[in-house]
Amino acid sequence: MPTPVRGLFRPAQTARPVWWPLAFFAAYVIIAAAAFAMTVGAGGLAVLWINNGLLAAALLLLPRATAIPLALVCALVDFLAALLTGSAPAQAALIASLDLTESVIAAILIRQVCGAGLDIHQFSRLWRVALLAVLPATLTIGTVGAILSARLFGGDFMPIWITWVGGDFLGMMIGAPAVLLLTRMHRYAMPDTVAGTPPLHLVAAALLVAAILFHFLPEAPLFLSFPLLLAVLLRLDPPRAVLAIALFAFLTAASTSLGHGPIAAQYSDISRRILVLQTYLAALQFCALMIISVMSQRSRAQKGLRRALSAARTARRAAENAALAKSRFLAVMSHEMRTPLNGISGNVQLLSAKPALPGFALEPLAAIQASCGVLVSLIDDVLDFSSLDNGDLQRQLNLAPVSIPMVVERVAALILPVLSDRPITLRVETDAPVDRLHRADESRLAQILFKLLSNAAKFTQRGHITLSVAIRPSEVEGIDDVTFRVTDTGMGIAPEDLSLLFRPFSQIDSTPTRKFSGAGLGLAISRSLVEMMGGNLTVESAFGMGSTFTFSAPMARLNGLESVQAESAPPQDLRLLVVDDHPMNRQIASQMLEAAGFKVDTAENGEDAVQRVGQASYHAIFMDLHMPVMDGLTACRQIKALGGAVGRTPIIAMTAATSKDDIAACLAAGMVDHIAKPIQLMTLIAAANNAVPKRAA
């Protein structure tokens, strides 16, 4: 919407160059002389009067102190020009006063239509200028002028009225938009070439065609000028395009008034000739203004689109950089936290495995181990949530043959120690045989079930927790709908609090005196993982009556049982190499593996590891990633490059770097497995047992 302005002049007029008034005056004098010359050639009829449009634009653009004197001087020029071309003094005074009045009225109406900005780029605003500003002004003044001229100086009213109104309306629609656009030429960039042709050459070609057509080819059709004019309108910026059209119109009017060109050849009657010429120029001018308006809006839209795309690309780069910084921060913090946790958890596990340990020490060790587990779980939850937030976790789903009953049994065994201090019974119900396999991500499925059972254990003080599994064939051949349900007899959830359950970092009781702690990520991560598997996690609960969490996921049905368990005891005389720059990590891993019957050597960096595999034969290598001198990935590649039996030695990543990119880098370097710190005794032994047969292959 235009900014409304009352009256003609703006309260705070933009400062204009000092030479503008002189330029307007010079242009007015030159155009007036040419226009009156054409009037004489046309038998006293005004052919094309652009001066009123020029003066109206000057009144709109210049400040009051400059515009009013300029208008009076231009009226004097108008009076003198009329006298010099044969008009009586009274008639010249009438013409000058009416032209001045018409310019002022048109300027006031244009200001009301366009506002302070005088923007005529929009097609709808251009039509409002024509219909609500220029037409009323020219129609009113032209009618008054025709009536007074016919009564005071003689003549037929209708030809005078048609010529006066038509000439003034056409001139106003050419002059005012041209000046308003030309004064804003600095907003447009002039193209260097237009389809290989300089823009000024294109304008010169259009004017040359007009000169030839309207001076030397009286029998030529008028439409021959359209193709080149259309090229001018489509290729040039609006100010230069409207200037080219104004020059074309002026040249055409001059030739026709002198009796040249197709219009003069077809119409001998001067008044009819002028009417046809004005109709032709009006059609040409309005088509030109419409095309200029459309092209200008298109240019603005393209610029706006480019700005929006640039802003979007900048915002995307900023978001990607922020996400990368966040991922790096989380990776570094995870690595630095897992390293001391590995020392705590590993030593606790080694102490707990000693048969001579006093009974009173078992409970504190179990508490320490449980606390380590909570910290590791929290770190894993934060990393998982970050991956979910970035949309990366879905690419981490690792589908493989899985026995659903075996996964359920293993998760139930993990949760039992948590329930040992309360009168709670854990029930497991499944109707699937152990030898039925499905394709699923075993670790993610176990993660979901463990989080649901942990949540039930947290809020249940007595009674029972039931984990049930139902497997039913789906409508798709070879696909089963597997439904998991965790039911507890805990405190339950009020209906108004159900919406908070799956919201990250939210808890039902968030007061400082809350009884239950936690980060509020477990259920949010579980729901996201279930959705990635193609299912949906729901909850049914009533306050004081317990809760039931249910999720179903489609899983492909497989035939035959594949071994998913490692050997329980290692073969004899198997030698392993543990590579880690931290002495405590080497000690814990070595003691765990030695307690399981393996012989273990150690190396403190990748270079040391490469030297050792060249001196001795190892059945498997546990390799840290971040080490001085030579990192684990480089060491793995160099060992694989040795070839032969040494190059086939299985290498397992044993690291605190646990992101998807770290795991992918390990596999790409040739490692066969990845275990995360803090090291769990059973996980380490299982990884060693799984890797040993690969050495023989």
| CA 75 to each of CA 69, 94, 179, 188: distance values in angstroms, whole numbers, following the listed order | 10, 11, 19, 33
Q: Is residue 346 part of a domain?
A: no
> Quick one: pLDDT band at residue 569, thresholds 50, 70, 90?
very low
**Average pLDDT of the segment spanning 325-332:** 73
In a shared domain, residues 542 and 589 = no
**Average pLDDT of the segment spanning 143-164:** 88
Q: Give the per-residue pLDDT at 634.
A: 94
What three-state secondary structure class fits 159?
helix
**Range in 142-146, 294-298, 509-513 the model is least confident about:** 509-513
In a shared domain, residues 542 and 591 = no
Q: Is residue 151 part of a domain?
A: yes
Q: Which residue has the higher pLDDT, 480 or 191?
A: 480
Tokens of 10: 């703006």
> Quick one: pLDDT band at residue 194, thresholds 50, 70, 90?
very low
Q: Which residue has the higher pLDDT, 363 or 597?
A: 597
* CATH value at residue 586: 3.40.50.2300
Asked which of 289, 310, 331 is the last residue of a domain, the reply is 310
Task: Count the alpha carbons within 13 Å of 340 in the hemisphere toward its beta carbon.
Answer: 4
On the question of pLDDT at 315 being above 80, the answer is yes
In a shared domain, residues 517 and 659 = no
Neighbours of 18 (CB within 10 A): 8
* Closest by Cα among 108, 110, 163, 172 to 138: 172
Three-state helix/strand/coil letters over 593-615: HHHCCCEEEEECCHHHHHHHHHH
Containing domain of residue 293, as a range? 20-310
Measured N-to-C along each axis, helices 270-352 and 583-595 cross at an angle, to the nearest 10 degrees, of 60
**Average pLDDT of the segment spanning 551-561:** 79
**Average pLDDT of the segment spanning 70-90:** 89
Q: Is residue 538 part of a domain?
A: yes
| Whether the Cβ atoms of residue 483 and residue 446 lie closer than 8 Å to each other | no
Mean residue pLDDT across the chain: 79
Three-state helix/strand/coil letters over 542-579: ECCCEEEEEEEEEEEEECCCCCCCCCCCCCCCCEEEEE
Q: Give the per-residue pLDDT at 390.
A: 56
Q: Give the per-residue pLDDT at 222.
A: 74
Q: Give the per-residue pLDDT at 388.
A: 60
d(CA 55, CA 164): 17
In a shared domain, residues 169 and 89 = yes
On the question of pLDDT at 283 being above 80, the answer is no
> Quick one: pLDDT band at residue 253, thresholds 50, 70, 90?
confident
What three-state secondary structure class fits 540?
strand
In a shared domain, residues 506 and 554 = yes
In a shared domain, residues 27 and 125 = yes
Q: Give the per-residue pLDDT at 291.
A: 77
β-partners of residue 248 are none
In a shared domain, residues 409 and 474 = yes
In a shared domain, residues 117 and 238 = yes
In a shared domain, residues 38 and 160 = yes
d(CA 432, CA 520): 33
β-partners of residue 546 are 542
d(CA 258, CA 43): 10
Q: Which helix (H) or strand (E) segment is 676 a member of?
A: strand 673-676
In a shared domain, residues 467 and 528 = yes
On the question of pLDDT at 544 being above 60, the answer is yes
Asked which of 249, 282, 310 is the last residue of a domain, the reply is 310
In a shared domain, residues 416 and 532 = yes
Q: Which residue has the higher pLDDT, 216 or 322?
A: 322
β-partners of residue 472 are 481
Q: Give the per-residue pLDDT at 511.
A: 44
Q: For the chain, what is the domain count?
A: 3
d(CA 630, CA 628): 6
Q: Is residue 108 part of a domain?
A: yes
In a shared domain, residues 489 and 405 = yes
Q: Is residue 365 part of a domain?
A: no
**Average pLDDT of the segment spanning 437-466:** 85
